[in-house]
Amino acid sequence: MKHEESQTQRHCVKWFRYQFKQPDYVIFAVPNGGKRGKIEAGIMKAEGVLAGASDLVVLAPERVIFIEMKAGKGTQTDKQKEFQKLVENLGFEYYISRNFDEFQELINELLTK
C-alpha cells in the first residue's frame, strides 16, 4: 500500500474505533500489501492470504462490509476486481474509499441510519 493510502487508512481506523465500539462493531485490516521475500510470501499464501482482498473489513450487527482504500485516482487491480465480484456475489457489501471524508460519510451512512 502506498504511503498516502496507509496514512489515510490509519486515520480511518482510528476514527472508526473511537466512534463505533467493540463488541458491536469491529474493523480490521487485511495485510496483503507490501514487499516480501519468496519464503515469507509462500508462508503467507499457505496461511490463507488472498490476492486482491480488500484493505479493511468491518463487522457490524448482521452485516459484513469490505472496503478498499485508494489514494487519488488509484484504480483496482484485476485481482481486486475479482475479489469485489466474489464478495458481492456472496451477498456482502464492497466499497472503495479514497480519503477520510469519504470513508467517514460512507460509514455514517451505512451504520447510523
For 72-85, the pLDDT digits (tens) are 889 999 999 999 99
For 33-67, the pLDDT digits (tens) are 777 888 988 888 899 989 899 999 999 999 999 99
Q: Does domain 3-111 have CATH number 3.90.400.10?
A: no
Give one word for 57, left, alpha or beta, with left for phi > 0 and alpha for psi -120 to 50.
Answer: beta
Are 3 and 74 in contact by the 8 Å Cβ rule? The answer is no
pTM, rounded to two decimals? 0.92
